[in-house]
Amino acid sequence: MLRKLAVAALAAIGIAALAPGAASADPYPNIDDFCTQTGTVSWSEWDVDNSHNPPLLRIVGTHRASYVNTTPGLLNTLRVWHVTYQPNGGSAGYEGAFAAKCSSGTYGGELNLTKQPPPLSSFDQRCGTTDFTNGSTSYHYLGARVSSGDTFRYWGTTFSTPMAFGLSATAARCD
């Protein structure tokens, strides 16, 4: 459905769509897929090639979100996703991570978990796989993904103080 609408809209403004040999990813995922799917959700990266008349819309790469695990949120469920990007003819690399805020299978926003270098030392507890508590925050191991030589570990977190209580998710980029 989304693909037909996108092609119709592009044709209306004079841009032809061409994707020979392109990945089989959807142009855009259904946003609620991040609240209902497990496994991988993929979508295409498009670019306009102005060297043709009319200009052509080409797929230049593919984004892949890999489901990690689920952890409780305060008023929702947090579903953690690890995202890579692979340009056509290139290697896949880490793009970022997020926790989709879900309620009854409906997407309600996200929590950015993207971690940039430098990676943490392997001696940091967040680079292990054992649940632990640090101060008023407890960490529950959710899973890991490896991209571009780094290991990304994902954690559900619970914090409590006499004045506050919270549930969230976090990530660590480990060497």
Split at pLDDT 50, 70, 90, the class of 143 is: very high
Mean pLDDT, residues 124-144 taken together = 91
Instruction: Name, of 9-18, 51-60, 112-121, the range with top average pLDDT.
Output: 51-60
pLDDT tens readout for residues 83-131: 999 999 899 999 999 999 999 999 999 999 998 777 777 668 888 888 9
More confident residue, 116 or 132: 132
Question: 157 to each of 41, 112, 136, how far by Cα in Å?
Answer: 25, 14, 10
HEC assignment per residue over the chain? CHHHHHHHHHHHCCCEECCCCCCCCECCCCCCHHHHCCCEEEEEEEEEECCCCCCEEEEEEEEEEEEEEEEECCCCEEEEEEEEEEECCCCCEEEEEEEEEEECCEEEEEEECCCCCCCECCCCHHHCCCCEEECCEEEEEEEEEEECCEEEEEEEEEEECCCCEEEEEEEEEEC
pLDDT at 16 over 90: no
Q: What is the mean pLDDT of the chain?
A: 83
pLDDT tens readout for residues 150-172: 899 999 999 988 888 999 999 99
For residue 134, what are the domain limits?
A: 2-174
pLDDT at 5 over 60: no
Exposure pattern of 92-122 as b/e (b: 16+ CB <10 Å)? eebebbbbbbbeeeebbebeebebeeebbee
Count up the domains in the chain and report the number: 1
Split at pLDDT 50, 70, 90, the class of 2 is: very low
More confident residue, 161 or 141: 141
Q: What is the reported pTM?
A: 0.78
Split at pLDDT 50, 70, 90, the class of 25 is: low
Percent above pLDDT 70 for the chain: 82
